[in-house]
């Protein structure tokens, strides 16, 4: 099997199915109380009971696997409800229990291979997709929302990045993976890139100064030595991308800032004091940026948590990015 990351569950299920190992996809469709995993969480189960992903953090995985193996025999989907007791939750490190509803679909029968393959293809192109399944009739479709009878709730769920039910329909949201472009290979960038990856971002480091952006200082990172505006144009900026500038040098930071402000990037944070930012604002106004655009900048970058060390500043930056993403 190809190497996949922990958030590529549809890809894993399709790979298992095509390699004749058989596969089922389990998806959390509803939760009540302190459920361990959010709606939309997925678990892939192979015909030989190998699993990838999670629907409950370990509380009910065993029962879901048993049901999945049965679906692979009869080809029928299952809609399962589990109550996670406080004792069970505590056993896997959770404070309290809850209730979850899990949809289990065998690939190739209930879940057609072509729908799953189309979903995997769309995910590979960094476009948003919604997988819809009617929990009463078992009708299914894949859509980007445009022209769909449920267009408005689908678009709202794309924006909030939340899967969920609308009437009899379950809408599984598949937004493009998060990305982070960091401009400036300074000391703060070192822990920031590592933390970004741990929280699900695909980080990209930009610094035209090759001595700063050396592979020895940032082992394993994707590094560009182009000027930031060129690098960002090649990399692409979309609504799932955060941009952080860290150099203090207007020659390097400003082109990246202008590019980010003229894009759909959901976050732009810039290192520097209040005085530094005031000078930055004057330069951006002179360059023709509007007050509304400039107001999108988070500066000084990061939540005010009293951070001092590079790692603490990186925590503050990532916390602010998370707040912006999840709370808008």
Report whether pLDDT(105) > 80: yes
Does the N-terminal peptide bond of residue 300 adopt cis geometry, omega within 30 degrees of 0? yes
For residue 327, name the pLDDT band (cuts at 50, 70, 90).
confident
Are 13 and 24 in contact by the 8 Å Cβ rule? The answer is: yes
User: How many other C-beta atoms are found inside a 10 Å radius of the C-beta of residue 38?
Assistant: 12
Structure-token match 């879940």, residue found: 111
Overall size of the chain counted in residues:
328
Q: What is the average per-residue pLDDT within 215-231?
A: 96
Report whether pLDDT(194) > 80: yes
Q: What is the average per-residue pLDDT within 284-290?
A: 96
Q: What is the pLDDT of residues 80-99, one digit of tens each?
A: 998 766 665 555 444 556 78
Q: Which CATH architecture has domain 178-327?
A: 3-Layer(aba) Sandwich (3.40)
- pLDDT, residue 121, reads 97
Q: What is the pLDDT of residues 115-136, one digit of tens each?
A: 999 999 999 998 999 999 999 9
- pLDDT, residue 124, reads 92
Q: What is the pLDDT of residues 3-61, one digit of tens each?
A: 666 679 999 999 999 999 999 999 999 987 766 688 999 999 999 999 999 988 777 88
- pLDDT, residue 261, reads 97
Q: What is the pLDDT of residues 48-70, one digit of tens each?
A: 999 999 988 777 888 999 999 99
CA distance 111 to 130: 14
- pLDDT, residue 94, reads 47
Kindly list the domain boundaries of the chain, sorted by start residue: 9-174, 178-327
Cα-Cα-Cα-Cα torsion 271, 218, 266, 235, nearest 10 degrees, comes to 120
How far from 33 is each of 7, 53, 83, 97, 200, CA to CA, in Å? 24, 21, 10, 7, 25
Q: In this structure, what token pair is assigned to residue 72?
A: 């692979």
CA distance 255 to 325: 23
How far from 230 is each of 222, 249, 262, 286, 308, CA to CA, in Å? 15, 17, 14, 21, 32
User: Of 199, 172, 156, which Cα lies nearest the Cα of 323?
Assistant: 199
């Amino acid at each position: 099997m190809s190497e996949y990351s922990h958030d590529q569950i549809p890809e894993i299920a399709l790979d298992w199915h095509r390699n004749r190992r058989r596969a089922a996809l389990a998806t959390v469709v509803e939760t009540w109380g302190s459920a361990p995993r959010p709606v939309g969480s997925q678990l892939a189960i192979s015909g030989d009971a190998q699993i990838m992903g999670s629907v409950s953090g370990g509380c009910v995985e065993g029962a879901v696997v048993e049901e999945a193996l049965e679906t692979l025999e009869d080809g029928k989907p299952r809609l399962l409800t589990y109550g996670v007791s406080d004792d069970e939750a505590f056993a896997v490190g959770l404070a309290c229990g809850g209730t979850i509803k899990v949809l289990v679909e065998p690939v190739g029968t209930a879940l057609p291979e072509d729908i799953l393959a189309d979903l995997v293809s769309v995910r590979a192109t960094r476009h948003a997709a919604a997988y819809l399944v009617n929990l009463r009739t078992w009708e299914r479709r894949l859509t980007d929302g445009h022209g769909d009878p449920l267009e408005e709730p689908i678009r709202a769920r794309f924006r909030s990045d939340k899967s969920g039910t609308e009437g009899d329909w379950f809408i599984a949201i598949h937004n493009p993976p998060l990305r982070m472009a960091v401009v400036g290979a300074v000391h703060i960038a070192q822990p920031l890139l590592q933390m970004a990856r741990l929280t699900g971002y695909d980080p990209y480091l930009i610094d035209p100064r090759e001595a700063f952006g050396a592979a020895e200082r940032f082992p394993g990172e994707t590094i560009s030595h182009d000027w930031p505006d060129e690098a960002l144009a090649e990399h692409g900026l979309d609504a799932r991308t955060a941009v952080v500038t860290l150099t203090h040098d207007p020659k390097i930071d400003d082109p990246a800032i202008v590019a980010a402000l003229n894009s759909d990037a959901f976050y732009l944070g810039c290192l520097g004091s209040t005085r530094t930012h005031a000078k930055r604002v004057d330069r951006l106004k002179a360059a023709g940026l509007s007050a509304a655009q400039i107001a999108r900048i988070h500066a000084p970058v990061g939540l005010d948590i009293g951070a001092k060390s590079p790692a603490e500043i990186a925590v503050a930056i990532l916390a602010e990015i998370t707040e912006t993403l999840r709370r808008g």
